[in-house]
């Protein structure tokens, strides 16, 4: 699977206080929708990923329902957070 530069940059270092738009698949439009829903930082969205027990289908559906994220972008976000989790926790 090839990954974007954004994906590689995100998983290559600790999450810290990064904005939600630093996650692959989450651009400015989805970032605004997620921020409006209370998910302004990458670690907050990561918390939701954990609450959904790292389940791809649940996370993708949740992103689609919460911020109108397309399935492709939601899968990119899931893969980004999932790979980050494998490396750092």
Instruction: Determine phi and psi for 63, rounding to 5 degrees.
Output: -65, -40
User: Which residues make beta-bridge pairs with 41?
Assistant: 19
Residue 35 burial class via C-beta count within 10 angstroms: exposed 0-12, middle 13-18, buried 19 and up = middle
Distance of CA 12 to the CA centre of its chain: 15
Domain boundaries, the chain: 3-86
Query: Does 1 have pLDDT greater than 90?
Result: no
At 3 the pLDDT is: 83
pTM: 0.95
- To the question of domain 3-86 being in CATH 1.10.150.40, the answer is yes
Token representation of residue 17: 């206080």
pLDDT digits (tens, 9 = 90+) for 4-45: 999 999 999 999 999 999 999 999 999 999 999 999 999 999
Which tens digit of pLDDT belongs to each residue from 59-75? 999 999 999 999 999 99
C-alpha span between 61 and 69 (Å, rounded): 9
């Amino acid at each position: 699977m090839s990954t974007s530069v954004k994906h590689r940059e995100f998983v290559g270092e600790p999450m810290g206080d990064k904005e939600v738009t630093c996650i692959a698949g989450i651009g400015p439009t989805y970032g605004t929708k997620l921020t409006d829903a209370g998910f302004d930082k990458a670690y907050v969205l990561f918390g939701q990923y954990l609450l959904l027990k790292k389940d791809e289908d649940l996370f993708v559906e949740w992103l689609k329902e919460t911020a109108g994220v397309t399935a492709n972008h939601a899968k990119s976000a899931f893969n980004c957070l999932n790979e980050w989790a494998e490396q750092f926790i």
